[in-house]
Amino acid sequence: MTPSSLLCLLAFSVLGYLLGSLTPSIWITRLLKGVDVRDSGSGHATTTNTIRQAGFGPGAVVFSLDVAKGFIPTWLALRYAPAEWIIPVVAGMAVIGHCWPVFAGFRGGMGLATAAGGLLAVEPLSFLVSLGVLIILVLTIKHSARASVAAGILATPVMWLLGLRGTIIWLGISIGLVIAVRFLIDWNRQYRELWLDRESKK
């Protein structure tokens, strides 16, 4: 590794993490409703929690911005990084920033939308494959957190089996591991509505 490559790795990684650490779900719900999105529902800074507290319109805005947080740094690394191996690191750092944001006390979202942005930046087909794997697992396991852990582990092997190769495989491993680790926090959560990630009534 040359000094210039190391410097680029550091710069792109910091960029990815800081962009990932931006928290539109917190800002928007606080602006519109005067509440912290993490204080109710799933307790996470996510699109679904925003929808519950502020509605579908604000939720759509949050989703788009969360995807952009993964897409922008990954796309920049894809275009300007001097080595391909930097790209998966940057995508992973963006997802880490979203899950554990420095600007919000390290209490963020779950990383799926930001991970989607990273996949879309490199290979849109990988996003469709990963989404398909996640949907199948949610319908099979009937527990979205456990399904997301499994999807984080299994999506990349499925990509490989479908013929995807190169940078996207390493990117899938990078973000998949972060997703799997992040969703362990909700492993025992009880759900009433899978698509809105709501806790069941006791």
Q: Is residue 96 part of a domain?
A: yes
- What would the DSSP string read from start to end of the chain? --HHHHHHHHHHHHHHHHHHT--HHHHHHHHHHSS-GGGSTTSS--HHHHHHHH-HHHHHHHHHHHHHHHHHHHHHHHHH-SSTTHHHHHHHHHHHHHHS-GGGTT----SHHHHHHHHHHH-HHHHHHHHHHHHHHHHHH--HHHHHHHHHHHHHHHHHHTT--THHHHHHHHHHHHHHHHHGGGTT--BS-GGGTPBPP-
pLDDT of residue 41: 80
pLDDT of residue 195: 52
pLDDT of residue 202: 40
Q: Is residue 202 part of a domain?
A: no
Instruction: Give yes or no for a contact between 167 and 84, defined as CB atoms under 8 angstroms apart.
Output: yes
pLDDT of residue 94: 98
Residue type, 107: R
Count of domains observed in the chain: 1
Q: Is residue 18 part of a domain?
A: yes
pLDDT of residue 192: 60
Q: Is residue 162 part of a domain?
A: yes
Domain containing 130 equals 3-196
pLDDT of residue 160: 98
Q: Is residue 155 part of a domain?
A: yes
Q: Is residue 201 part of a domain?
A: no
Instruction: Give yes or no for a contact between 95 and 179, defined as CB atoms under 8 angstroms apart.
Output: yes
pLDDT of residue 193: 53
What six digits make up the tokens of 83?
């080595």
pLDDT of residue 4: 81
pLDDT in tens, the chain (202 residues): 788 888 999 999 999 999 999 999 999 999 999 999 999 888 899 999 999 889 999 999 999 999 999 999 999 999 999 999 999 999 999 999 999 999 999 999 999 999 999 999 999 999 999 999 999 999 999 999 999 999 999 999 999 999 999 999 999 999 999 999 999 999 998 866 545 555 444 4
Q: Is residue 83 part of a domain?
A: yes
